[in-house]
């Protein structure tokens, strides 16, 4: 399954995954207004083996199939810091 990823120009570290490029129709209007402009950043194939750094790829696939979009929000302030090195080490395991 392909996903097309956009970053919010109003909300830092907030990303929208869409099932089709520039297919913003599934996003509720109120949500679109809160996010402000959306800038395309990435096209990615979400296979069962695919790992994403900050979100479970299976949850993204399910949301895309069910609703046509998924919104990735920043982690809460008390969440452990993101460790890119740990992410890449875990991929090799």
pLDDT, tens digit (0-9, with 9 covering 90-100), for 50-81: 888 888 999 999 999 999 999 999 877 776 66
What residue numbers bound the domain in which 81 lies?
Answer: 2-92
77: domain CATH number is 3.10.510.20
Say if CB 19 and CB 3 are below 8 A apart. yes
- pTM (two decimals): 0.81
Six-digit token string for 73: 């929000």
CA–CA gap between residue 38 and residue 1 (Å, rounded)? 21
Q: What's the pLDDT score for residue 85?
A: 58
The domain tally of the chain equals 1
């Amino acid at each position: 399954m392909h996903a097309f990823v956009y970053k919010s120009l109003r909300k830092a570290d907030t990303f929208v995954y869409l099932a089709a490029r520039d297919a913003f129709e599934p996003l509720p209007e109120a949500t679109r207004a809160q996010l402000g402009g959306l800038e395309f950043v990435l096209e990615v194939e979400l296979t069962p083996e695919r790992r994403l750094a900050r979100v479970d790829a299976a949850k993204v696939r399910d949301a895309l199939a069910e609703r046509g979009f998924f919104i990735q929000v920043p982690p809460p302030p008390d969440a452990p810091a993101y460790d890119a090195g740990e992410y890449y080490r875990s991929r090799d395991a």
